Amino acid sequence: MTLHQPRPATPADAADIARIYTQGIEDRSSTFETRPRTAQDITSWFDGTHPIVVVEREGQVTAFASTSLYRPRDCYAGIAEFSVYVDRAERGTGAGKAAMQVLITAAQAAGYWKLLSRVFPENAASRALLASLGFREVGTYERHGQLDGVWKDVVIVEKLL
């Protein structure tokens, strides 16, 4: 079995990232988003400020982890939100962990002091992955958003870098 090969993402990876993200959207287990993403949507993520990484196996992108703006106020400039998504066929293989390990290093190198996100409480796999990487669960936002007409809570996670 070929090992996971993480690397910095480039705009050329946008179609693969969109494909994997759309799987997560369709599964309704990881995001409030409901609209499938296109490569054009993803290309806008490459702002030169927020690290994005992909993981390949045998030359195919199988996972990604990305950072994005937390809040626009200057006092939060060192905090980034993050996401991690893995191709359905690669879930449970360590691809998500490989992506996050490289993303954490890249975020530190880019000057971020904290990563944070929100996870659906029932997403046990993501919660276990993040705990294994030293993220702490801060609390729960109740009724944070609706997905398909159903209110959902989210668990807030953070890691000081």
pLDDT one-digit tens code per residue, 130-140: 999 999 999 99
Question: Which band of pLDDT confidence, cut at 50, 70 and 90, is reported for residue 2?
Answer: low
Looking at residues 81-91, what average pLDDT do you find? 97
Query: How far is residue 86 CA from its own chain's centroid?
Result: 9
Looking at residues 109-126, what average pLDDT do you find? 97
Question: Coil, helix or strand for 122?
Answer: coil
| CA dihedral sign, ordered 34, 39, 41, 47 | positive
Backbone angles phi, psi at 12, to 5 degrees: -65, -20
Question: Which band of pLDDT confidence, cut at 50, 70 and 90, is reported for residue 99?
Answer: very high
Q: What is the pTM of this model?
A: 0.95
Q: What is the token pair recorded at 33?
A: 């988003």
So what's the pLDDT on residue 3?
A: 86
So what's the pLDDT on residue 4?
A: 87
Looking at residues 8-22, what average pLDDT do you find? 98
Q: Which domains does the chain have, with CATH numbers?
A: 5-160 (3.40.630.30)
Which has the closest alpha carbon to 30: 89, 88, 104, 101? 88
Looking at residues 140-148, what average pLDDT do you find? 97
So what's the pLDDT on residue 104?
A: 98
Residue 127 has pLDDT above 70, yes or no: yes
Angle between helix 95-109 and helix 124-132 axes, rounded to 10 deg: 50
pLDDT one-digit tens code per residue, 17-69: 999 999 999 999 999 999 999 999 999 999 999 999 999 999 999 999 999 99
Residue 151 has pLDDT above 80, yes or no: yes
Question: Which band of pLDDT confidence, cut at 50, 70 and 90, is reported for residue 154?
Answer: very high
Query: How far is residue 101 CA from its own chain's centroid?
Result: 12
